[in-house]
Amino acid sequence: LGEEQMLPRPDIFDFEGISMIHYFTDNWEKVQSFQARPDDILIATYPKAGTTWVSYILDLLYFGQHSPERQTSLPIYERVPFLELTNPFLPSGTELADKLTTSPRLIKTHLPVQLVPKSFWEQNCRIVYVARNAKDNLVSYFHFDRMNMGQPEAGDWNSYVEKFMDGKIVFGPWYDHVNGWWEKKQRYSNLLYLFFEDLVEDTGRELERICSFLGLSTAVEEKERIREGVQFDTMKKNPMTNYSTVPVMDFKISPFMRKGRVGDWKNHFTVAQNEMFEEHYRRKMRNSTLAFRTEL
């Protein structure tokens, strides 16, 4: 048996009002008391919204030119620690973050806005949030839960759609997550709210927005190099960004870098399912000013 087959699937339980698994709550005290530094940059997302993509973009912007070795030897999940994660294969996210010697520290989180450690707000840290339309986010999460033994069993497609609508998947309801962070953005100016669909449509344009938010005056040629380096096919081939080094993921079931497209939901939802989902979506998002694109 491979390591991934020996790991039992974790149970899902309610934690601070959201669905969680122990890998993200075991280290809770250290997560809540985490000491952010003023130049830390937090990359916040609902799972499967483009976390790795934006993490890699920021890593290249800050460290791409200075540490070629980092680019060939350190996988993205060690460069950008996952704050709330504890697992049997890696030091915890807080330990990895505390050990980082480079600055700024890039730190990833999937926490809903109300659970983010208060020190990030006290230090007025810059935050890059990425959101992805619900249907593609759901599809991507479904395949991720199928292949990742560190996640609860996905079950069949129909039941997964129900679980997503009920928010009974890890990190809770997508609806509250994207809206909570969107509301925060209206009050907290150091937050850049990006959309996966915009990144797919025009990565260069979004790269400009990111640079301007971060106050970076990266050279034109360097930006062009980054834009090429973060294309889906390039990242899929790169062992430092494609998660092929993670033992709990079974790429025979589904690769981490799966499709990277907008609109793959059309290959999954039946017509009836789509109608039901959209009806529920309209109710959940009735009071929201957020608008997503489900196709380009």
Give catalytic residue positions: 110
* Strand 18-20 to 13-15 pairing: antiparallel
Using CB under 6 A, which of 20, 36, 44, 45 touches ligand A3P? 45
Closer Cβ to ligand A3P, 19 or 133, answer by number: 133
> What do you get for the CA distance between the two ends of the chain, in Å?
43
| 260 contacts ligand A3P (rule: CB under 6 A) | yes
- Please, what is the minimum distance in Å from the beta carbon of residue 51 to ligand A3P? 3
Closer Cβ to ligand A3P, 175 or 243, answer by number: 243
For the CA atoms of 49, 131, 17, 9, what is the dihedral angle to 10 degrees? 0
- Please, what is the minimum distance in Å from the beta carbon of residue 197 to ligand A3P? 10
Using CB under 6 A, which of 23, 24, 53, 77 touches ligand A3P? 53
* Phi, psi dihedral angles at 194 (to 5 degrees): -105, 160
Question: 167 — alpha (psi -120 to 50), left (phi > 0) or beta?
Answer: left
Helical (H) or strand (E) element with 269: none
Residue 196 and residue 130: Cα distance in Å, rounded? 6
- Please, what is the minimum distance in Å from the beta carbon of residue 289 to ligand A3P? 24
Binding-residue pattern over the window 98 to 137 for ligand A3P, x denoting contact by CB under 6 A: ----------------------------------------
**Span near ligand A3P by CB under 6 A; candidates 4-12, 70-78, 226-234, 284-292:** 226-234
Residue 251 and residue 146: Cα distance in Å, rounded? 10
| 151 contacts ligand A3P (rule: CB under 6 A) | no
Closer Cβ to ligand A3P, 26 or 264, answer by number: 264
What residues numbered 182-211 form the site for ligand A3P, per CB under 6 A? 200
What residue is closest to ligand A3P based on CB?
A: 260
Q: Is 7 helix (H, G, I), strand (E, B) or coil?
A: coil
**Span near ligand A3P by CB under 6 A; candidates 160-168, 184-192, 228-236, 276-284:** 228-236
| 257 contacts ligand A3P (rule: CB under 6 A) | yes
Burial of 11 (0-12, 13-18, 19+ CB in 10 A): exposed
Our CA angle for 17, 18, 20, nearest 5°, is 130
Using CB under 6 A, which of 50, 117, 150, 173 touches ligand A3P? 50
| 222 contacts ligand A3P (rule: CB under 6 A) | no
| 20 contacts ligand A3P (rule: CB under 6 A) | no
Nearest C-alpha neighbor of 9 from the set 21, 17, 24, 19: 21
* Strand 126-131 to 191-195 pairing: parallel
Closer Cβ to ligand A3P, 122 or 224, answer by number: 224
Nearest C-alpha neighbor of 172 from the set 47, 50, 43, 23: 47
Q: Scanning the structure block, which residue is given the tokens 């907290």?
A: 188
Closer Cβ to ligand A3P, 32 or 246, answer by number: 246
Q: Is 293 helix (H, G, I), strand (E, B) or coil?
A: coil
Q: Interface residues with ligand A3P (CB under 6 A)?
A: 45, 47-53, 140, 143, 200, 230-232, 235, 257-260, 264
